Amino acid sequence: MQEPLSRLRIEDLTTSNDGMARCLQLAALAAKSEVPVVLLGETGTGKTLLAHAIHNSSARAARPFIAFNASAIS
């Protein structure tokens, strides 16, 4: 059974790809910081999933998750 995005954490994500493993390491560091995070990438690459995982792994997990889709602004 899949975790709902509202409970997904970085440690729930797995990969055998070295590049993605590095991305998850950086995401874990970002979750520990107080800085805003901007995720860039092609459509369908999992940016929203990773954003939820970072939020849910951070000290702000109990606060609302606010997503901003810059591509929707023209």
In a domain, 65, yes or no: yes
- Is residue 2 included in any domain, yes or no? no
Whether 30 is covered by a domain: the verdict is yes
pLDDT tens across 43-67, in order?
999 999 999 999 999 999 999 998 8
58 domain-assigned: yes
Residue 40 placed within a domain: yes
Specify if 24 maps to a domain. Answer: yes
Please give the tally of structural domains in the chain: 1
Q: What is the pLDDT of residues 19-35, one digit of tens each?
A: 999 999 999 999 999 99
**pTM of the predicted structure, to 2 decimals:** 0.88
Domain that holds residue 54: 10-69
Phi, psi values for residue 59, rounded to 5°: -70, -15
Domain presence at residue 35: yes
* Residue 5 located in a structural domain: no
DSSP string across 7-60: T--GGG---S-HHHHHHHHHHHHHHHSSS-------TTSSHHHHHHHHHHTSTT
